[in-house]
Structure 1
């Protein structure tokens, strides 16, 4: 158990001293970029899904 506690302690110490954290403005900018990309990707996925639905409906109607 002591090894685990030591590992966690060293991990926090490394996060405090060795990690370069981004500025708040950069975090906000990148968050907006990720949110916009996620919305665009969701809309594209929805569009492709609707395209496949129409294609399968057309194929199904041909088989009738």
Structure 2
């Protein structure tokens, strides 16, 4: 149990002393960038899904005929 406590204590100390944390302004800007990228990626995924759905639907309609 002592090893676990020591590990957690050292991890917190490293986070406080060795990690460079971003400023609040950087966090806000990067959050906006991630949100915009997520929306663009979701729209691209939706568009490709719709394209494949129509292509597969057209293929099966062509086979039925």
What range is the shorter-chain TM-score in?
over 0.9
Give ranges in structure 1 of 5+ residues lacking alignment: none
Runs of 4+ deviating beyond 3 Å? none
Q: Distance in 1 between matches of 2:13 and 2:43?
A: 42
**Residue of structure 2 in register with 1:18 after alignment:** 18
Q: State the Cα RMSD in Å.
A: 0.4
> TM-score with structure 1 length normalisation?
0.98
Q: Cα distance, 1:53 vs. partner?
A: 0.5
Q: Cα distance, 1:61 vs. partner?
A: 0.6
> TM-score with structure 2 length normalisation?
0.96
**Residue of structure 1 in register with 2:7 after alignment:** 7
Q: Distance in 2 between matches of 1:15 and 1:8?
A: 11
Give per-residue Cα distances to partners, 1:6-61, cap 9 Å, x unaligned: 00000001101111101000010001000100000000000000000000010001
